[in-house]
């Protein structure tokens, strides 16, 4: 894979499971388990997967909001994971974040002006009047009136609050914006407004996006490249249109065919998953607290895969081991 604005190599973020009086570590939750990808400047990488697959942890790892176990993150030629103090702060200024919960991520006691202006003040490079000027400009960029400056988050609707979140993310003129489910809590008509806004801003400022979502249609519309995540790993990565035309990984296929089409009469295929029990092979699987069968070695999708074979139990192929077509990678033996 080539150089880009953001390069992630073999990123692993494990959370220890502690038990007992001494809080001894008895195991790890492998939230992100060896993820690599590159985002070129001006591009949008979409990250899709079901809840709990590690999308958000991956995003938080990139800006070091959680501590990373292993791997490398290179942003604009600088190593993020080894950066300290001032350097890290500067890096974070160049990466904007938009969160899913627009209500929870805005401080209810701060006015919109303070929320959007805070990053500018923290940098301390510009005077107070200039901050107000910039905040006004940012708000009108995201389609809010300048008069909103003195209002509080609860006075806004969900869509407007998400606009405030976008304005804050853009305050320091970032190169990369990480959007974690930016539209999933919004109504359909508002969702379209925010998606269009993000597209316009990308064009105007040449932004690069890491766009996390679980809605496949939204991701297809918004992203250039899509990476499909399953149980902490990327199982397939491809240009967006190609992925939907020609999904290779059985998990991707399951995911895409599960989306209910907004056309009556177009039926979803039934029986997406294997349901017959797995025979024999003790010690290879473990049922977790939720009763989901986990594969201890090999491919995590094995228990539900319609196309599984012996080989899959031993090892899951690396994503870049197989390039199916230009830019289309898949971590599956079968494809």
Partner 1 sequence: MDLIANNKRDVKKSDGNGTLLSVRNLSAHFFTEEGIVRAVQDVGFSIRRGRTLALVGESGCGKTATALSIMRLVPAPQGKIISGQIVFEERSLLDLNEKEMREIRGNRIAMIFQEPMSSLNPVYAVGDQIAEAIKVHQKKGRKEAWADVVEMLRAVGIADPRRRVREYPHQMSSGMCQRVMIAMAVSCEPVLLIADEPTTALDVTTQGKILDLLDELQRQNGMSVLLITHDLGVVAQRADDVAVMYASRIVETAGSRRLFAEPLHPYTQGLWESLPRLGFKGRRLRTIPGAVPEPLRFPAGCKFHPRCPKGRSDERCRSVEPELREVEAGRRVACWHARGYEESQSVKCKV
* Residues in touch with partner 1 (CB under 8 A): 50-51, 157-160, 187-193, 195-196, 199, 214-218, 220-222, 244, 254-256, 258-268, 270, 272-273, 289-292
- Closest CA relative to residue 135, chosen from 179, 95, 168, 96: 168
Q: Strand 285-287 relative to strand 293-295: parallel, antiparallel, unpaired?
A: antiparallel
Backbone angles phi, psi at 188, to 5 degrees: -55, -50
Q: Which is nearer to partner 1, 168 or 253 (CB)?
A: 253
- Closest CA relative to residue 109, chosen from 96, 118, 100: 118
Q: How far apart are CA 291 and CA 230, in angstroms?
A: 17
What lies within 8 Å, CB to CB, of 150 at 6+ separation is 111, 112, 113
Q: Which is nearer to partner 1, 7 or 160 (CB)?
A: 160
- Report the nearest approach of partner 1 to the CB of residue 17 (Å): 17
Q: Which is nearer to partner 1, 245 or 326 (CB)?
A: 245
Q: Which is nearer to partner 1, 124 or 291 (CB)?
A: 291
Q: What is the DSSP string of 139-171?
A: HHHTT--GGGGG--GGGS-HHHHHHHHHHHHHT
Q: How far is CA 140 from the centre of its chain?
A: 27
- Report the nearest approach of partner 1 to the CB of residue 258 (Å): 4
- Report the nearest approach of partner 1 to the CB of residue 250 (Å): 12
Q: Which is nearer to partner 1, 129 or 290 (CB)?
A: 290
- Report the nearest approach of partner 1 to the CB of residue 16 (Å): 21
Residues comprising the chain, all counted: 335
Q: Is there a contact between 180 and 101 (Cβ–Cβ < 8 Å)?
A: no
CA count, 13 A, side-chain hemisphere, 332:
28
Find the helix or strand (DSSP H, E) in which 308 lies: none
Q: Which is nearer to partner 1, 53 or 169 (CB)?
A: 53
Q: Which is nearer to partner 1, 95 or 181 (CB)?
A: 181
Q: Is 231 left (phi over 0), alpha (psi -120 to 50) or beta?
A: left
- Report the nearest approach of partner 1 to the CB of residue 91 (Å): 31
- Report the nearest approach of partner 1 to the CB of residue 98 (Å): 18
CA distance from start to end of the chain: 20
- Report the nearest approach of partner 1 to the CB of residue 157 (Å): 5
């Amino acid at each position: 894979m080539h150089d880009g604005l953001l390069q992630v190599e073999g990123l692993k973020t494990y959370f220890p499971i502690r038990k007992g009086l001494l809080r001894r570590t008895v195991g790890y939750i492998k939230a992100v388990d060896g993820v690599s990808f590159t985002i070129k400047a001006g591009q949008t990488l979409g990250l899709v997967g079901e809840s709990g697959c590690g999308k958000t942890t991956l995003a938080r790892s990139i800006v070091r909001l959680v501590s990373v176990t292993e791997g490398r993150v290179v942003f604009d030629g600088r190593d993020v994971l080894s950066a300290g103090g001032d350097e890290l702060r500067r890096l974070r200024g160049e990466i904007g974040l938009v969160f899913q919960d627009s209500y929870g991520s805005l401080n209810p006691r701060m006015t919109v002006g303070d929320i959007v202006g805070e990053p500018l003040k923290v940098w301390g490079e510009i005077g107070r009047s200039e901050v107000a000027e910039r905040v006004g400009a940012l708000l009108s960029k995201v389609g809010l009136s300048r008069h909103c400056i003195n209002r509080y988050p609860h006075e806004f609707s969900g869509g407007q609050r998400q606009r405030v979140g976008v304005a804050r993310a853009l305050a320091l003129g970032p190169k990369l914006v990480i959007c974690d489910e930016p539209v999933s809590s919004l109504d359909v008509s508002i969702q379209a407004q925010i998606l269009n806004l993000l597209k316009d801003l990308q064009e105007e400022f040449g932004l690069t996006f890491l766009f996390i979502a679980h809605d496949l249609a939204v991701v297809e519309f918004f992203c250039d490249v899509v990476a499909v995540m399953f149980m902490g790993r990327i199982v397939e990565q491809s240009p967006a249109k190609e992925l939907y035309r020609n999904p290779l990984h059985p998990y991707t296929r399951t995911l895409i065919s599960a989306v209910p089409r907004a056309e009556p009469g177009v039926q979803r295929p039934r029986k997406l998953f294997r349901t017959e029990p797995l025979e024999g092979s003790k010690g290879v699987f473990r049922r977790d607290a939720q009763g989901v069968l986990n594969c201890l070695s090999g491919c995590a999708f094995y228990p539900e895969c319609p196309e599984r074979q012996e080989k899959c139990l031993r090892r899951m192929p690396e994503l870049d081991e197989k390039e199916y077509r230009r830019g289309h990678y898949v971590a599956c033996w079968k494809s």
